[in-house]
Amino acid sequence: MTMHITELLNNKNLSQIKSELKNMQEADIAEIINSLNKKDSLLLFRLLDKEMASEVFSHLSPNKQSELSVQIRENELKAILEDLYFDDMIDYLEEMPASFIKRILKNTGEVERNLINQFLNYPANCAGSIMTIEYVDFKAGMTVKSAIDRIRKTAIDKETVYTCYVTDNNRELEGIVSLKDLVLAKPDRLVRDIMNSNIIYVTTMSDQEEVSAIFKKYDLLTVPVVDRENRLVGIITIDDIVDVIDLENTEDFHKMAAIQPSDVGYLSAGILSLAKKRIMWLLILMISATISGNIIRKYNDLLQSMVILAAFIPRLMDTGGNAGSQSSTLVIRSIALGEIRSKDLFRVLWKEIRVSIIVGLVLGIFNFFQIILLGYGNPMLALTVSLTLFITIFTAKIIGGALPLVAKTFGIDPAIMASPLITTIVDAIALISYFAIASRLLEMVW
């Protein structure tokens, strides 16, 4: 579709583009605009009608939003922001420079300006920073008929009406009521008679990862956000939580690959920016690799007398690193999903011990016969390598399973204790075990 639209743009067939855009989904249009250059993206955006333009704008990448903000007229931008849902507008403003935000705030009313400033001052990654104020609220004493009439009058400006909230005169949250319950109830019944007082809620300072876990656990579409006095200040909708989950998963993948996390897309990021985020961890890991080099140098005499030992070092180090990565990846993902907690450390260790014994025995036996069949000849060499392989796998899986949980206990992101760091530790243990076993077993023969 992108190539088709690009071809129409090149041919300046604007009337056909405008006709086709009307039948497309806003998210698909945003994807096309994200892929176009400045000139074409502005032209395509200007072909959208007012209502569709606001929806498409909310789906654009931060970089493209910033780019269009500079290109379009101020009154156009103001009209788009007015049509955006409040949380989408806040997400947009968070990516803009302070000077631009000041310019936008000058053109807003006092109430909205205060709300924007309040939302922009919430710490990143907390519930307050991702909530919206566009929800439907009732009083407990209202009749069902009055409640439905209120939905009809206000729903056009609300992000969702499927779940409504009941508050008292001090805006303290008293209960929730679904649109389904309202529709099925008799018109003269009171809201307090059908509302659910057993409320799942979060506070403005709740971490967004905790919020996403609550959505998953209770299968929610929305969750209310309250302040310290239990006053309702906003709601979080499922679409925002999907974005949070995607962002958190991406961040974990970056950390597990020893890359400094970034919310900028790969193709949008600059070369220097990508290099900067990779260099530091690579430098740390490169320096830590000197531990392995020092171990090898310590046993240099043994290697010189039995050069064949060097041939199996890569096998031991690679297998150990892979085994540790398997365990750490499973444990880190289970921690993220809430399946494992810090108190489960010994359960995880016991499971990894049993798994490592099975895996170590299978690979050790296979390795023993492979070395014999490859013609190295000496069974003692095969035994040395196989025994070291078993110890390496055993150690790697225990370390890989334990380190993420230990990190979480001390308030460190478990994703940091992933492949690169674990591999460095396991490599050192593998080499020490290898040369220690070799110096005893092989000296009996050679």
Q: Output the six-digit token pair for 416.
A: 């940091």
Res. 425 pLDDT band, cuts 50 70 90: confident
What is the rounded average pLDDT of the residues 322-339?
Answer: 84
Q: Which of 3-17, 70-84, 193-207, 309-323 has the highest mean pLDDT?
A: 193-207
Give the tens place of pLDDT for each residue, 189-223.
999 999 999 999 999 999 888 898 899 888 899 99
Same domain, 82 and 142: no
pLDDT attached to residue 103 = 62
pLDDT attached to residue 267 = 65
Res. 106 pLDDT band, cuts 50 70 90: low
Res. 279 pLDDT band, cuts 50 70 90: confident
CATH, residue 162: 3.10.580.10
Query: Are the beta carbons of 214 and 241 closer than 8 angstroms?
Result: no
Q: Output the six-digit token pair for 183.
A: 């529709």
Same domain, 65 and 163: no
Give the tens place of pLDDT for each residue, 6-36.
777 777 787 888 888 888 888 888 888 888 8
Domain contains 268: no
How far is residue 144's CA from residue 294's CA, in Å, rounded to a whole number?
Answer: 77
With a pLDDT cut of 70, the percent of the chain lying above it is: 87
CATH, residue 315: 1.10.357.20
- Of 4-13, 41-50, 122-131, 348-357, give the lowest mean pLDDT range: 4-13
Res. 418 pLDDT band, cuts 50 70 90: low
Q: 121, 155, 170: which is the final residue of a domain?
A: 121
Same domain, 306 and 433: yes
Same domain, 172 and 225: yes
Give the tens place of pLDDT for each residue, 241-254.
888 887 777 777 66
With a pLDDT cut of 90, the percent of the chain lying above it is: 24
How far is residue 347's CA from residue 436's CA, in Å, rounded to a whole number?
Answer: 31
Domain contains 252: no
Give the tens place of pLDDT for each residue, 151-180.
998 888 788 889 999 999 888 999 999 999
Same domain, 110 and 161: no
pLDDT attached to residue 262 = 64
How far is residue 310's CA from residue 333's CA, in Å, rounded to a whole number?
Answer: 36
Same domain, 202 and 143: yes
Same domain, 406 and 328: yes
Question: Which of 86, 98, 51, 48 lies closest to 68 in space, CA to CA?
Answer: 48
Is the pLDDT assigned to residue 446 strictly greater than 60? no
Same domain, 202 and 107: no
What Rg value do the Cα atoms of the chain yield, rounded?
Answer: 30
Domain contains 102: yes
Tell me the whole-structure pTM to 2 decimals: 0.61
Containing domain of residue 377, as a range? Answer: 289-444
pLDDT attached to residue 140 = 93
What is the rounded average pLDDT of the residues 120-141?
Answer: 86
HSE-up (13 A, CA, CB side) for residue 384: 28
Domain contains 48: yes
Same domain, 370 and 421: yes
CATH, residue 89: 1.25.60.10
> What's the mean per-residue pLDDT of the chain?
82
Please tell me which residue, 7 or 420, carries the higher pLDDT value.
7
Question: Which pairs with CB-CB distance under 8 Å and at least 24 residues apart come from 174-178?
Answer: 174/140, 175/140, 175/199, 176/224, 177/138, 177/147
Res. 101 pLDDT band, cuts 50 70 90: low
pLDDT attached to residue 19 = 82
What is the tally of structural domains in the chain?
3
Please tell me which residue, 98 or 31, carries the higher pLDDT value.
31
Q: 63, 97, 121: which is the final residue of a domain?
A: 121
Give the tens place of pLDDT for each residue, 366-401.
999 988 888 766 788 888 899 999 999 999 999 989
